[in-house]
Amino acid sequence: MLRNRGTGEKSRRGSKTKTRIRTVENGKARLKSDVLATEEPMEIRLVTGDKTQTVAVTMRTPGADFELAAGFLYSEGIVGSAEDIRKISYCVDPDIDAEQQYNIVNVELRGGHEYDLRPLERHFYTTSACGVCGKASLEQLELRGCPVISPGPVVSVETITSLPDKLRETQNLFDSTGGLHAAALFSREGSLIALREDVGRHNATDKLVGWALLEGKLPLSDHIVMVSGRSSFEILQKSLTAGAPIVCAISAPSSLAVDVAREFNMTLIGFLRGERFNVYAGEERIDL
């Protein structure tokens, strides 16, 4: 059984950071306190046998760090199930500053398996909104054996249009900071199952996929993934590897996101606001 996974993790640094600002209103300035979304680097180290190596450094909001690491490795095809992961823990290296140890996550893989780390070569450093080359990306997904999503489920228009308000109502960190993205998992009936927030859209999605992986919820074949902001290739890639058939976003998709959705039979919805939305692929899953 996997030990030290997301449920028991603690972070020295919180998801919010207090600061002092000068605000100007009606030509008058005053000092006040404000709350920012914390952004710090997180280093993911892979431990296989007696070998430890850094495989990625990402800028993220502290919180659900173990889910982020697990979701990242699953989305990149390094691990195929929770059983591949023996242990996830924060760094305990005495030569590293105690506070910085909480910005380093060690993922220990089970022995007896060969792990292909080549997909990680492009990820040694990622920003909070990274992207990759288009043509090579689709080919890489096909080479990794990502299956075309099976037909279904079919959801109502009312279910789709109800999602933004449900997502927004649960964005607790956004309420405090105004500076975070969210990725949420809904049932086919529109019930909120899980939500994760981060300064980066793809990090929030990795946290969500990591939660599903560690909780034994994959594949997400009967669910809807929704993200705040736009949908990029990274969002579609991570949703595809998790088996999610429907992806919704508040804003526009990128051209490559649409390509992925059409190539792998996913339903992609954008500009989901109020009673209006655009269907870019997979309209057969919407009961129109």
Catalytic residues: 130
Query: Across the chain, which distance is largest between two alpha carbons, in Å?
Result: 67
Query: What long-range pairs does 7-10 form, CB within 8 A, spacing at least 24?
Result: 9/64, 9/65, 9/66, 9/88, 9/90, 10/102
In whole angstroms, give the CA distance from residue 96 to residue 93.
6
184 secondary structure, DSSP code: E
Phi-psi sector, 147: left (phi>0), alpha (psi -120 to 50), beta? beta
In whole angstroms, give the CA distance from residue 163 to residue 83.
32
Contact between 247 and 226 under an 8 Å Cβ cutoff? The reply is: yes
Q: What is the DSSP string of 231-285?
A: B-HHHHHHHHHTT-SEEEESSPBPHHHHHHHHHTT-EEEEEEETTEEEEEE-GGG
